[in-house]
Amino acid sequence: MKKALSLITLILFAVTAFAEPQLVSLSNKNGKTTVVFTLSSEDKDSNNGLGIDNIILECNDQTYKAKHVDAKFGETTTVVVKFKKVPKMENARLTFNVNGEEKYIDIDKDLID
């Protein structure tokens, strides 16, 4: 029984230790492109801090720098990023740094509303 509990604990730790950013939504409304994603508490540093910077949307062989960033911090941090309107998204990828570590999200063009 102890071995089973230890194994379950180890698996849960491994899954949360490698938590990836999750895309929540993507829209091309009101003359801008808005991307919403979440970060888990595992992305916070040892002082419970979370620094997000260098947010770039890459698509159609072009790069777009974030025009506005807003974050709601908590157990799960929700980040809202606005870019100038991207007319057509193909092979889109959002790249950014979290506490100095590079992260990315591949964006499926079917998510645009």
Helix, strand, coil % over all residues of the chain, rounded to 5: 20, 50, 35
Q: Which of 85, 84, 107, 88 is nearest to 21 (CA)?
A: 107
Q: Give the mean model confidence (pLDDT) for residues 5-26.
A: 61
Q: Does residue 5 register a pLDDT over 50?
A: no
Q: Give the mean model confidence (pLDDT) for residues 80-91.
A: 90
| Maximum alpha-carbon separation in the chain | 58
Q: Does residue 94 register a pLDDT over 90?
A: yes
Q: What is the DSSP letter of 112?
A: B
Average pLDDT, the chain: 82
- Please state the pTM of the whole predicted model: 0.78
CA-to-CA distance for 73 and 81, rounded, in angstroms? 14
Cβ 96 vs Cβ 104: under 8 Å: yes
| Residue located via tokens 């540093």 | 45
Q: What is the pLDDT of residue 10?
A: 43
Q: Give the mean model confidence (pLDDT) for residues 105-111.
A: 74
Q: What is the pLDDT of residue 110?
A: 53
Q: What is the pLDDT of residue 112?
A: 56
